[in-house]
Chain A
């Protein structure tokens, strides 16, 4: 369980996040919603350590922690809005690069990656390069890349916005499948229908509070 307490962040004196307090519960899906420009992505970037909060604390399973410490422990996985696959590397290598750099041996990393690719219906794309993939395939590679490091929490930044609207239900289905297998997930989205179809809890940025 990850708790955020009184997170504040301003850019050039303009407050973006004010006293954000929320709990990410194990095995549940939290949707962080709100119109664009209210700081949803900033909040996700603070949790993943890409942005530093001005004040506030993070508590992982009862103990105070930092985003940097969580990264070193491999707690957080991130799926970016534009996926940010590495264009110079094959699908397989995109997934195995980080694990092998962190000491997993190549064979083991390959085996893990193959399993993930099978689960995500990407078996045939193993040797492909990102430019040749569809948006949905790119997203699934990005998810496989994050999952290869066995994170405890998977964060998605606007998972529906770079995709064909028809794929929205597929993404929701995928998120719910991961939930069924016990994954803790956080979805940042401006798409309320999508949020409703995946979320156990919803946090409205800007209004400062929980539903349900």
Chain B
């Protein structure tokens, strides 16, 4: 027990970094994903529009199609070779936000696709503007549709944040691993697991509450 209290401060400072990456990534990636998804929906007619859409699809393909670990290494160790240097924390945020925005964009695209075109048409014949239709009719439905998938990604993100280990950031996993190697005991790693479980437990609880708040209609 005394040992646990000895290593707890180190683990908790690791938790702080983990939660920092987690929170900033969400704040950056969810709005970015929503904006990008709007570019993925329409069938553009102009050459510029088509090029823009292809570019977005390429971005989603690259960031969903390669390991996040590779993206982290590429941004922190690779880009300095061509003169683009990030500090460790910024490199982690850039990689996480770009990676998660690609996933969120696809989730939102699916959400928009799941709302019947007739909802836009009904809004149109009621003389509502396109923005009013989005704001009052379509986006509220999209949010309800995407909540389970977003919740899934959010829980993944807590665990994925441990990948920052590879670029030398002192997150929760690193703190546990150092203590475990130094004191030759499994206990720190068990504790790390327990802390991750607690974090995901809280997030699962929040997810259920939010989904319940949207269950007033079907």
Contact = CB atoms under 8 A, between A and B. Distances in A.
A144 interface: no
B216 interface: yes
Contacts of B127: 71-72, 74, 98, 102, 149
Contacts of B124: 49-50, 71
Given A48-B125, A98-B126, A98-B127, A80 B141 contact: no
Contacts of A49: 124-125
B216 A129 contact: yes
B122 interface: yes
Interface residues on B, range: 20 to 34
Nearest to A88: B140
A98 B216 CA distance: 22
A57 B136 CA distance: 34
A46 B217 CA distance: 33
Interface string A69-107: 001101011101010111111000000011001100000
Contacts of A85: 122
Interface string A55-78: 000000000000000011010111
Interface in A109-132: 129-131
Given A50-B125, A74-B127, A131-B218, A84 B141 contact: no
A88 B137 contact: yes
Interface residues of A, number: 27
Nearest to A86: B137
B141 A87 contact: yes
A32 B122 CA distance: 21
B118 interface: yes
Nearest to A145: B126
Contacts of A88: 137, 140-141, 144, 217
Contact of A84 (B121, B128, B144): B121
Contact of B118 (A77, A80, A145): A80
Contacts, number: 62
A73 to B, nearest CB: 9
A77 B127 CA distance: 10
A87 to B, nearest CB: 5
Contact of B116 (A74, A77, A84, A102): A84
Contact of A86 (B122, B216, B218): B122
B184 to A, nearest CB: 57
B132 interface: yes
Given A84-B118, A86-B119, A88-B144, A78 B125 contact: yes
A76 B125 contact: yes
Contact of A101 (B121, B128, B140): B128
A145 B158 CA distance: 45
Interface string B197-218: 0000000000000000000111
A78 B121 CA distance: 10
Interface centre among B118, B126, B140, B217 (most CB of A within 10 A): B126
A129 B216 CA distance: 8
A102 B128 CA distance: 8
16 contacts: A49-B125, A50-B121, A71-B124, A71-B125, A74-B127, A86-B122, A86-B136, A86-B137, A89-B136, A98-B127, A101-B132, A129-B216, A129-B217, A129-B218, A131-B217, A146-B125
Interface of A: 48-50, 71-72, 74, 76-78, 80, 82, 84-89, 97-98, 101-102, 129-131, 145-146, 149
Interface of B: 116, 118-119, 121-128, 132, 136-137, 140-141, 144, 216-218
Q: Which 8 A-B pairs have the closest CB atoms?
A: A84-B122, A98-B126, A131-B218, A129-B217, A84-B118, A78-B125, A88-B140, A86-B137
Given A74-B127, A80-B121, A88-B137, 20 more contacts: A49-B125, A50-B121, A50-B124, A50-B125, A80-B118, A84-B116, A86-B136, A86-B137, A87-B217, A88-B144, A89-B137, A98-B123, A98-B126, A98-B128, A101-B128, A101-B132, A102-B127, A129-B217, A131-B217, A149-B126
